[in-house]
Structures are given as structure tokens and as C-alpha cells.
Amino acid sequence: MQLLKALLFLLIPVTLALPVDVAAPVDNVLETRQSGPVTCGSNTYTVAQVTGARNSGYNYVKQGGTAGGSTYPHVYNNYEGFSFPVAGPYYEFPLLKSGAYTGGSPGADRVIFNKSGQRAGEITHTGASGNNFVGCSRTS
């Protein structure tokens, strides 16, 4: 019993000294896990580009609007059955090489996020049949 007390006496200060970032939102953990470039067809996107598209799309969702005269962002039903690391419902928003989507042609690539703004993954029409999607390099 004395040994147990001594061990606890030594471990408690060490445990209390460990850094804890209680302010870090959950999706920072997901962003870290999903970090690194993403390739959709022949396009490669940086984490900053994907995060920027996700943030832009999520801002439209929060405000109840869409980009330009488009329908984006809109609900993504996941008919293809992707295994996303966050729960839905999901939204899709165009993923572009230069800047945030503001209307017009959306291109083939999309970032997917949920109603809380958490990044779910990236998908593309490139290589898919019809109007379906396939996963980009980090989406299965």
C-alpha cells in the first residue's frame, strides 16, 4: 500500500503538468489527421486550399445562402457510400485551385463537410461514371 501511495505521489504532479489544449476544436484534430496534400484526378490541393474551400462553404451554410447564383453549398447524400470520419448530414462545396468558389462552373472536385463544419473528405467527378463521384486520395 505504501508503494502505491508513493507511486501516486510521484505521478500526480507529472500528470498535472502535461499540456492540455482544451480550446482546440474537434475538427482541428480531424484536420491534422487529414493533413497533407489531396489529389483529385490530376489536381493536387494543399491543406490550406481544402480548408479555405471548407470554410467558405460552411460560412454559406451558417448564413443560409449560396455562392453567386449557384446551388452550392448543398446537401450531399453520399449515394456512393463513402466512409467519412465525421457524422452527417453532409454538404458539398466546389474545391478550386485558385481561391474560393463564388459561382459559375464548379469544376469536378468537391470538399465535403458536415453541418458542424467538420471536414469529412474530398471527392471528384473525374474518373467516375455519369454524375457520380469517386474519392480523392484521402477519401475512401
Residues 22-40 have a mean pLDDT of 57
CATH code (residue 54): 3.10.450.30
Query: Is 125 a residue of the active site?
Result: yes
Q: How confident is the model at residue 34 (pLDDT cuts 50, 70, 90)?
A: low
Question: What's the pLDDT score for residue 79?
Answer: 96
Is residue 21 situated within a structural domain?
A: no
16 in a domain, yes or no?
no
Environment class of residue 123 by beta-carbon count within 10 Å: exposed (0-12), middle (13-18) or buried (19+)?
buried
Query: How large a percentage of the chain has pLDDT more than 70?
Result: 75
CB 52 within 8 A of CB 38: no
Return the pLDDT at 2.
60
Residue reference for cell 482541428: 28
Integer Cα distance of 75 and 66 in angstroms: 12
Q: Which domain holds residue 103?
A: 39-135
Burial label, 38 (beta-carbon count in 10 A; 0-12, 13-18, 19+): buried
Q: Which of 31, 74, 80, 122 is catalytic?
A: 74
35 vs 22, 31, 121, 126, CA distance in Å? 21, 6, 11, 22
Q: Identity (one letter) of the amino acid at 91? A: Y
Confirm whether 58 is domain-assigned. Answer: yes
- In this prediction, residue 26 has a pLDDT band, given cuts at 50, 70 and 90, of very low
Asked if 92 is an active-site residue, the reply is yes
Output the CA–CA distances (angstroms, integers) from residue 88 to 39, 75, 113, in the order listed.
23, 10, 8
Nearest to 132 by CA among 88, 57, 82: 82
Task: Please report which confidence band the pLDDT of residue 15 belongs to, taking 50, 70 and 90 as the band edges.
Answer: very low
Q: Choose the catalytic residue: 31, 80, 92, 122.
A: 92
The cell 494543399 sits on which residue? 46
Select which of 31, 80, 122, 125 is catalytic. Answer: 125
Residue 50 lies in a domain: yes
Domain-embedded: residue 66 = yes
**pLDDT number for residue 1:** 55
State yes or no: pLDDT of 69 exceeds 60: yes
> What percent of the chain has a predicted confidence (pLDDT) above 90?
71
Residue 9 lies in a domain: no
Average pLDDT over residues 79-108: 96
Mean pLDDT over residues 5-28, rounded? 42
Give mean pLDDT, residues 84-96: 97
